[in-house]
Amino acid sequence: GNSVTQMEGPVTLSEEAFLTINCTYTATGYPSLFWYVQYPGEGLQLLLKATKADDKGSNKGFEATYRKETTSFHLEKGSVQVSDSAVYFCALGGSTLGRLYFGRGTQLTVWP
């Protein structure tokens, strides 16, 4: 079946620290992979995506590389800011799957 396993949170970091949130997946076919962010009291926003193996998605200093050999799509940022505090969701989808499959979400809190 299709599923996403996301590292447990919450994650608490100091400003300018390095961030990694692990995400692995199980999927049939050739899915696309996504990271969504949900700021407090808001809906879901697409942070970045990758549609095929070895693609790197990037946005706002965040990066993630679609690794088919390790079935992973880990989210990284070199220097987090207080404004990055939010919940981050890893997800897989694609036209062969139709819907999105979400990980459990990781709460990130960044302290000044």
Partner 1 sequence: SAVISQKPSRDICQRGTSLTIQCQVDSQVTMMFWYRQQPGQSLTLIATANQGSEATYESGFVIDKFPISRPNLTFSTLTVSNMSPEDSSIYLCSVEELEGNYGYTFGSGTRLTVV
Q: Does 74 bind partner 1 (CB under 8 A)?
A: no
Instruction: Give the CA radius of gyration of the chain.
Output: 13
Q: List, in sequence order, every residue forming a beta bridge with 44; answer none if it has no partner.
A: 38
Q: Does 93 bind partner 1 (CB under 8 A)?
A: yes
Phi, psi of 82, rounded to the nearest 5 degrees: -55, -35
Enumerate helices (H) and strands (E) in the chain, giving the number of each.
Answer: 0, 12
Candidates 51, 79, 83, 96; binder of partner 1 (CB under 8 A) is 51
Candidates 12, 15, 16, 46; binder of partner 1 (CB under 8 A) is 46
Q: Does 44 bind partner 1 (CB under 8 A)?
A: yes
Return d(Cα 97, Cα 111) in angstroms, integer: 38
Binding track over 10-29 against partner 1, x by CB under 8 A? --------------------
Q: Does 65 bind partner 1 (CB under 8 A)?
A: no
User: Between residues 17 and 59, which has the closer beta carbon with respect to partner 1?
Assistant: 59
Contact 57, 49 (CB under 8 A): yes
Contacts of 16 (CB under 8 A, 6+ apart): 79, 80, 81
The identity of residue 103, as a single letter, is G
Q: Where does this chain touch partner 1 (CB under 8 A) — which range of 19-27, 34-42, 62-70, 74-82? A: 34-42
Catalog residues that contact partner 1 under the rule CB under 8 A.
32, 34, 36, 42-46, 49, 51, 89, 91, 93, 95, 98-100, 102-105
